[in-house]
């Protein structure tokens, strides 16, 4: 029997590490061919090589998803290689600057929104027409639990992820009759290199996060990847405009 994504082609942004890497590996395991991008060339090439050595098909492309030209070329390259685009996971993002709103520099605000929100807009802008012409496709935007609730001290991140959910819902409604589904995943605190770096800077952070997490543990990047697999599969054929929490009941507490 084939996997959930057998024969499908997929694009994963921010695919070199963390959630993006785990998603790319999960997609290949389920039978998809994957085009992944990142700014970290060495890590991205390593993921593509790992997939190739395991018998899968993956290509890495350097791309800055905040630049329209890069996104346009990224989608075009994937479509040329695969003959179309069945799935896309728009994952690239950062935590960004922390602090009270009055203390956030405008440059940091703009940087966080550019990477976390504008990049998703640009990806949708070029992915949607391809899928609309095909009459089918599935897109997953990686948001956050911070896209649903307030996160004091992380206003740029929180605002950007709320924006991702607004884009997702709008795109889902606009495409409800085109055959293209658009959903979002809202991860909780996931064990990624980005989280580990943050905890290394602040030794108190790990205990604070775990104390606020009902499950008492961090999520695994692979658990988020599984959600993306399902949302892009035909088993989610009537799911669009959804914001799927993968957070161990953190937002529900």
213 within some domain: no
Residue range(s) defining the domain that contains residue 159: 9-188+224-246
Convert the pLDDT of each residue in 178-215 to its tens digit.
999 999 999 999 999 888 888 888 888 888 888 889 99
The count of domains in the chain is: 1
27 within some domain: yes
43 within some domain: yes
203 within some domain: no
Convert the pLDDT of each residue in 150-180 to its tens digit.
989 999 999 999 999 999 999 999 999 999 9
182 within some domain: yes
Handedness of CA 90, 54, 223, 94 (dihedral sign): negative
217 within some domain: no
250: Cβ–Cβ under 8 A, 6 or more apart, which residues?
145, 188, 189, 212, 213, 214, 215
241 within some domain: yes
Convert the pLDDT of each residue in 60-90 to its tens digit.
999 999 999 999 999 999 999 999 999 999 9
209 within some domain: no
Query: 58-62 and 87-90: which strand pairing?
Result: unpaired
The answer to whether residue 157 is catalytic is yes
Whichever domain contains 91, its CATH number is 3.40.50.720
Closest by alpha carbon to 217, among 183, 190, 192, 198? 190
Q: 35, 60, 126, 157: which is the annotated catalytic residue?
A: 157
């Amino acid at each position: 029997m084939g996997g959930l994504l057998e024969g499908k082609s997929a694009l994963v942004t921010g695919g070199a590490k963390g959630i993006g890497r785990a998603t790319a590996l999960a997609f290949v395991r389920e039978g998809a061919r994957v085009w992944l991008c990142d700014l970290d060339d060495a890590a991205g090439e390593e993921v593509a090589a790992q997939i190739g050595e395991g018998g899968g098909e993956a290509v890495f492309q350097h791309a800055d998803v905040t630049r329209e030209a890069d996104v346009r070329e990224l989608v075009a390259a994937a479509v040329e290689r695969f003959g179309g685009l069945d799935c896309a996971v728009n994952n690239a993002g950062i935590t960004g600057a922390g602090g009270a709103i009055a203390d956030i520099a405008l440059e940091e605000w703009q940087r966080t929104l550019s990477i976390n929100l504008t990049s998703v807009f640009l990806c949708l802008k070029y992915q949607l027409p391809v899928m609309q012409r095909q009459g089918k496709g599935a897109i997953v935007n990686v948001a956050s639990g911070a896209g649903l609730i307030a996160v004091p001290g992380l206003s740029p991140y929180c605002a950007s992820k709320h924006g991702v959910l607004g884009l997702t819902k709008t795109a889902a409604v606009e495409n409800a009759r085109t055959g293209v589904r658009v959903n979002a995943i809202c991860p909780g605190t996931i064990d990624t290199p980005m989280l580990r770096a943050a905890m290394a800077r602040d030794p108190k952070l790990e205990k604070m996060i775990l104390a606020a997490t009902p499950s008492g543990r961090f999520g695994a990047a692979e658990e988020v990847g599984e959600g993306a697999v399902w949302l892009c599969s035909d088993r989610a054929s009537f799911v669009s405009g959804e914001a799927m929490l993968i957070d161990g009941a953190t937002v529900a507490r």
